[in-house]
Amino acid sequence: MTWMITGGAGYIGSHVVRALVADGQQVVVVDDLSTGDPERLPAGVPLVRGTVLDRALLDRTLSEHDVQGIVHIAAKKQVAESVERPLWYYRENVEGLRTVLEAAVEARVQRFVLSSSAAVYGMPDVDLVTEQTPCEPMSPYGETKLAGEWLVTAVGRAHGMATASLRYFNVAGAAAPELGDPGIFNLVPMVFDRLSRGQTPLIFGDDYPTPDGTCIRDYIHVEDIASAHVAAARRLTEDSKAALVLNIGRGEGVSVAEMVGIIQEISGHTGIAPEVTARRPGDPARVVASADAIGRELGWKAVYDVREMVASAWAGWQLRHPE
């Protein structure tokens, strides 16, 4: 069978593509290349350039490649940007998903995996976030992901489609230097960027109710994210009635101060004391996943630790910024 991967030339998408290919799956990628790069794709993987809002393009791709499963990763994903441009985020993330699902139903695709996010939870006041933790997203981005989950589940129920929505926590790392995250939006590349410029790393608030006063997060290696998609694809192939919503995390919290220290050590930029600035609005003190459900349902467990994430991310950063 062939899996269509939307957004498959992007940072996370390209890792998922490579993992599925390594698992022996046939893959076709649909990507508008707004943030993707064709060079990330393995040799021989077909790339269809275009937007997921283009129904005719989707219909042709599903038919020509005999697609029987979809992994939908294509989406806009910057929280602050979503606050500034909510209409655009709802169009790209919700209407884009609706268009893909409509095409999938017409083509009788029976398996659908959605890229979701821990942003659906908002600011949960719990030690470990389970899939039953109430969802109260705090940004249009998180809202679009939660709405997307509802839509996927409803379509699966109505049309006999096996589905899985995978809620990513804080993604970092790279399978190879050339696959590193090109953006500077998450903590690890943000600290790399400041250190490489000779600037002080920033920590947004050190007065949270945590052991060292800084926020605690669950960091997950992008290769673990990719292997979770392979496990989900296998499950949906075997179980035509699956309707899963699962966290992807390690179940271990690391504070921002700890993470900055690890980044400095691995990058060789030690001796620079981070600068503490004001809290960012909406940052919860602690967001750590419970990974019990994905272990039960998919037999999956994260294998990479934080130091491996940072080391692989640093190798990618050095490749893109040799200066």
Please give the Cα distance from 139 to 122 (Å, whole number). 8
Q: List, in order, residues 6 or more apart from 281 with CB less than 8 Å away.
A: none
Q: How many CB atoms lie within 10 A of CB 213?
A: 16
The phi-psi region of residue 307 (left if phi > 0; otherwise alpha if psi is between -120 and 50; otherwise beta) is alpha
DSSP string, 237-276: HH-TT-EEEEEES-S--EEHHHHHHHHHHHHT--S-PPEE
Q: How many CB atoms lie within 10 A of CB 265?
A: 12
Please give the Cα distance from 38 to 8 (Å, whole number). 9
Q: How much of the chain is in helix, strand and coil states, percent to nearest 5? A: 45, 20, 40
- How big is the CA angle at 283 (ends 142 and 218), to the nearest 5 degrees? 80
Q: φ and ψ at 244, to 5 degrees?
A: -105, 145
121 is catalytic: no
From 89, 90, 141, 168, active-site residue? 141
The number of CA neighbours under 13 Å toward the Cβ of 193 is 11
Q: Which residues form the catalytic set?
A: 141
